[in-house]
Amino acid sequence: MIIYLSHIDGKRKTIKQKLEVVDEENKVMKFKCIDGELMKEYNYLIVTFEAVPVSNETSKVIWTFEYEKKEPGLPEPTAEMDALVTLAKEIDDHHHGIDGKRKTIKQKLEVVDEENKVMKFKCIDGELMKEYNYLIVTFEAVPVSNETSKVIWTFEYEKKEPGLPEPTAEMDALVTLAKEIDDHHHGIGN
């Protein structure tokens, strides 16, 4: 279950989603919106992301919105689409470099444990893996109250050689990305 706040059309909206499909072979992820202010307007809203290879090194991502409005006069979800495009641009801007250098990282989503609110990603390829035998990043949401949780990030890694640096630049990049996403969801800088 993923719950987030988004700043859409100047309004802060909560959206609760369920990750329904992770198809690594076909590079597809599908999220179903199941609760929140957005669902007051739609009977269902499903967002699918599909990465389609363009070359050996690049892919294009196709975003598909499937939805049914509760009433014919309600607007199309273009503001929500625009919010996702803005977020994607912010993430792309962020990915222009770690520690002043562009590094590619290919990750595999290994665990989605909805009951315990845990997601685990294993880095499996890219420049970063030239320095590590393995690198696993785990996110765990721990409830603090009925409405808030804290997220614990855990980095597990083994350097290929003792003299290589700790992955602090990558940790800093992830913290910066999280701040940019948080700013986006709270309408800061828009």
The C-alpha angle with vertex 47 and arms to 43 and 49, in degrees rounded to 5, equals 165
pLDDT at residue 9, rounded to an integer: 58
- Compute the mean pLDDT over every residue in the chain, rounded to the nearest whole number: 78
Domains of the chain: 1-83 (3.30.530.20), 95-190 (3.30.530.20)
pLDDT at residue 187, rounded to an integer: 59
- Where the chain has pLDDT below 70, the residues are 1-13, 87-103, 180-190
pLDDT at residue 25, rounded to an integer: 86
- Report the distance separating Cα 58 and Cα 3, nearest Å: 30
In tens, the pLDDT along 18-55 reads: 888 888 888 888 888 888 877 888 898 888 888 888 88
pLDDT at residue 108, rounded to an integer: 83
Packing angle between helix 168-185 and helix 78-94, nearest 10 degrees? 160
- Report the distance separating Cα 112 and Cα 101, nearest Å: 30
Q: Supply the pTM of this predicted model.
A: 0.54
